[in-house]
Structure 1
Amino acid sequence: MLGTLSASAAFMGVAAACEVTLKSSDTHPEGYPTVEAVKYMGELLNESTDGRICVEVFHSAQLGEEKDTIEQTQLGVIDMNRVSLGPFNNLIEETKVFSLPYIFRSTEHMHKVVDGEIGDEVLEAFQDHNLVGLAYYDSGSRSFYNKQRPIASIEDVDGLKFRVMQSDIFVDMVDALGGNATPMPYGEVYSSIQTGVIDGAENNWPSFESSGHYEVAGYYTLDQHLIVPEVLVMSKASFEKLSDEDQAAIREAAKQSVGKMRELWAAREKASEEKVRAAGVEVITEIDKQPFIDSMKPVYEKHVTSDALKALVTRIQEVE
């Protein structure tokens, strides 16, 4: 505790010396790759601005769950926010495509897309919603976990109640598989599985482990239905208060933090998998994905309706 107090006091001393201290929100806990990546961005930014700009990261949903913090960031109450793309699907049309099940063939394919022209175009779309898109972070591949039974085929999903992010695409994805989708905040998932409100949820290895969900959901199926990047955004109001030079410094520091995040992510993903397996969770790897993929046709038909979105899907699929 003394160490924590000393660290807090030290930061307050540094922050007090800054002309600008940017408040950044994250729902994940201390030490999580996204949290540490934004801290690293803050270090780079502080260095490049000669100590004029600091970043203070509020982890563990201290500033609220994602839906609430998005609204606060749009209003300028929160300066920066690391958020999953899912909650943006009903707000920013272009983000829907990155959230489509099986749109990315692999993590490497996703990296090539978001690091290129397509990724920049989608970040630009945030401007119309009082946000500035800064960078993409990884969130691994998302798979289903539950406390009722192993899922080895699409038939095993039938009737199971799964928590999903507050996104119509994710709701429709679970429904198309024969399950029952229940949108709810991330922080309510553990108790909801424990008490039987839901049977399970879907997420990546680090989130499954760090949240403790593996303690109440003993079956984890590697169907890898989603490889959805996360996004680091800034309040447009906060961003426009800064000089062109400082805006450029923020963009550059955010981009540079991506490599650090991916490095931390790879290590964390491996460690989380080892911890979950050691705890006795049954991990199902033998699964025929094709029926899962085939069942997504109505999801694409419902959500990829405009010519622009259809063209975006095609461009992503053509990235080698």
Structure 2
Amino acid sequence: MKSRLARAAAALMAAGGLAAVFSGCSAKKTEQEVIHLKMAVADADNSAQAEGAREIAREVEKATDGMIQIEVLAGGTLGGERDTIELAMLGGIDIVTCANSVFTQWIPEMSILDQPYLFTNEAQAHGAVDGRVGDLIEREALDKLNLHVIGYMESGFRNVFSKEPIQSIEDFHGVKIRTMQNPYHMAAFESFGAIPTAMAASEQFTALQQGTIDACENAVSNCLNNGFYEVTKNITYTNHAFVYILVSMSDHAWNRIPEELRPAFMEAVNRGYNTERKLLKQANEDAVKIMEEEKGVAFHDIDVTALQEAYKQLAEKKGYRFDQEWQEALEEAIRENP
């Protein structure tokens, strides 16, 4: 942890100095002065997540008549997801974004959201974090991390990008595929017959070029944004997992916002992250068209039922179990959004 903090601190200094980020070091502001906040985004500057963050900033500035201004620093400028979360816990960064799986390091109950084939549609996924599951996340994040989870952007359903076509579960046999460091995602590909390999996102392109891996997986728009289409000319609609991008705020930054501005602030953040969800959907649709028509990428359907059954059997064998309170909240969201 210390080495990650050191790297992130160095990045912060390069981006403008720790003194500017640790707002507690400056003189106390009056309510008439502008509140400047920094928001770290790990995703690329051209991603839907980065644009969603900028939309949050615009909505907040408009809703507060310019009293709260958010500077978005995308592309991992301030460090990786874990780096920035740890700094936010200390009050060193105001607002951060990260995938839900990162939070399981401190909130193990959240691993329930890492299950493959958990949701059959976006409404179920949204209903979970916009409802009781979101309440549980926010409670635990404040209690254990000293962070206020203020919104839920997303990278949505993930699909497989591969060098060779994958059109059936048999085609997964022996395929070396990069996954997140997530035991449930890795178990899914293991059940399909693939060889899951956890590695940093930044290493994927080179690994694909060098043949260290044969495939990777993410939202379709990321295949275009990150140039994976240059190496992986096949995309299979596995829709095997849904990933949220949580927007979290340090307690120190939260307490800088006057109580009378907090309702407007939160409503603005809500509008911003709901816009990101729409932007991501459009980005995925645009990416399919561009890659299919201009980049020579082939898109394949697959029997998802066979994949679901394979994972289900392995999950039962491994004995995966989840917290009952979280399980009930999740089942409620799924039941209410068939």
TM tier relative to shorter chain: 0.7 to 0.9
Which residue among 73, 81, 92 is the counterpart of 1:66? 81
- The one-letter code of the counterpart of 1:284 is H
| Residues 1:153 and 1:89: Cα distance change in structure 2 (over 3 Å) | farther
| Residues 1:87 and 1:180: Cα distance change in structure 2 (over 3 Å) | farther
- The one-letter code of the counterpart of 1:139 is S
Partners of 2:172 and 2:237 in 1: how far apart?
13
Partners of 1:260 and 1:305 in 2: how far apart?
31
Aligned residue in 2 for 1:130? 146
Which residue among 317, 321, 329 is the counterpart of 1:304? 321
Which residue among 98, 101, 107 is the counterpart of 2:113? 98
Partners of 2:168 and 2:99 in 1: how far apart?
27
Alpha-carbon contact 1:18-1:54 (below 8 Å) kept: no
The CA deviation at 1:282 is 1.9
The CA deviation at 1:302 is 4.1
Aligned residue in 2 for 1:11? none
1:208 aligns with 2:223: yes
The CA deviation at 1:184 is 2.0
Partners of 1:231 and 1:29 in 2: how far apart?
16
Partners of 1:245 and 1:214 in 2: how far apart?
48
Gaps of 5+ in 2: 1-31
Which residue among 240, 252, 272 is the counterpart of 1:237? 252
Partners of 1:67 and 1:159 in 2: how far apart?
31
| Residues 1:206 and 1:111: Cα distance change in structure 2 (over 3 Å) | same
Alpha-carbon contact 2:100-2:245 (below 8 Å) kept: yes
The CA deviation at 1:257 is 0.9
Gaps of 5+ in 1: 1-16
- The one-letter code of the counterpart of 1:146 is S
- Describe how 1:6-155 pairs up with structure 2 within 5 A: 19-127=34-142, 128-147=144-163, 149-155=164-170
Residue by residue over 1:133-162, the C-alpha shift from the partner in whole angstroms, topping out at 9 and shown as x without a partner, is: 111123231011122x21122222122222
Cα RMSD, aligned residues only: 2.2
Partners of 2:130 and 2:37 in 1: how far apart?
25
- Describe how 1:149-164 pairs up with structure 2 within 5 A: 149-164=164-179
| Residues 1:97 and 1:291: Cα distance change in structure 2 (over 3 Å) | same
| Residues 1:201 and 1:262: Cα distance change in structure 2 (over 3 Å) | same
1:263 aligns with 2:282: no
Residue by residue over 1:32-86, the C-alpha shift from the partner in whole angstroms, topping out at 9 and shown as x without a partner, is: 2221222122122223333232111111111122222222222222211121212
The CA deviation at 1:284 is 1.0
Alpha-carbon contact 1:65-1:187 (below 8 Å) kept: no
Q: Secondary structure at the match of 2:243?
A: coil
- The one-letter code of the counterpart of 1:109 is Q
Aligned residue in 1 for 2:21? none
Which residue among 210, 234, 257 is the counterpart of 1:219? 234
| Residues 1:240 and 1:35: Cα distance change in structure 2 (over 3 Å) | same
Residue by residue over 1:257-306, the C-alpha shift from the partner in whole angstroms, topping out at 9 and shown as x without a partner, is: 12321232222121111112121112111x11112101222336644333
Alpha-carbon contact 2:97-2:245 (below 8 Å) kept: yes
Q: Secondary structure at the match of 1:229?
A: strand
- The one-letter code of the counterpart of 1:317 is I
The CA deviation at 1:18 is 6.0
Residue by residue over 1:208-265, the C-alpha shift from the partner in whole angstroms, topping out at 9 and shown as x without a partner, is: 1101111111121101111222211112232234332344443222112123212322
| Residues 1:309 and 1:178: Cα distance change in structure 2 (over 3 Å) | farther
Count of aligned residue pairs for this structure pair: 302
The CA deviation at 1:124 is 2.8
TM-score w.r.t. length of structure 1 = 0.86
Which residue among 201, 205, 208 is the counterpart of 1:193? 208
Partners of 1:40 and 1:317 in 2: how far apart?
29
Alpha-carbon contact 1:18-1:51 (below 8 Å) kept: no
- The one-letter code of the counterpart of 1:129 is L
Q: Secondary structure at the match of 2:272?
A: helix
Q: Secondary structure at the match of 2:181?
A: coil
Q: Secondary structure at the match of 1:140?
A: strand
Alpha-carbon contact 1:82-1:233 (below 8 Å) kept: yes
TM-score w.r.t. length of structure 2 = 0.82
| Residues 1:129 and 1:187: Cα distance change in structure 2 (over 3 Å) | same
Bigger mean CA deviation after superposition, 18-27 or 195-204: 18-27
Partners of 1:201 and 1:144 in 2: how far apart?
6
